Amino acid sequence: MVEELSEKPKRIAVFEGQGKIGEVIKELAQIRLSPEDFSSPISLQMAISRIYSALLKSMAEGPRKHYVAEIRFTDSLGNTVAFAVDLGESIPPFSSRNVKARIIVEIFEE
């Protein structure tokens, strides 16, 4: 018996973007600020306390630097999209801090 493989419909979009490589302290990279953190003075104080706690934890454990690339591109509707790619703890093998990025999006049904 031969099973026929049927190709499900899919779309692929390719975007070109720019990237900037930099260093972050891993523990501080986990801090997230949201619009609600700026909604009142108490919310802002709580956000600052989270930042302060993460900073103290980082100092106590010793800072661990990670290299990341901040990637920016413009989507099909003209919106700027930004995200980060973790490049690890060792220096990336690029000659410049500014790099180009190719973003491939594959849309499909399961």
Render 67-110 in DSSP notation, one character per residue. Answer: EEEEEEEE-TTS-EEEEEEEEESSPPS-SSSEEEEEEEEEEE--
pLDDT at residue 8, rounded to an integer: 78
pLDDT at residue 56, rounded to an integer: 87
* Ranges in the chain, pLDDT < 70: 1-6
What does the domain layout of the chain look like in residue ranges? 10-108
pLDDT at residue 3, rounded to an integer: 53
Q: Decide: helix, strand or coil at residue 44.
A: helix
Q: Decide: helix, strand or coil at residue 56.
A: helix
pLDDT at residue 82, rounded to an integer: 96
Beta bridge partners of 68: 22, 86
Over the stretch 57-83, which tens digit does the pLDDT of each residue have?
878 887 788 899 999 999 999 999 999
pLDDT at residue 7, rounded to an integer: 73
pTM, 2 dp: 0.68
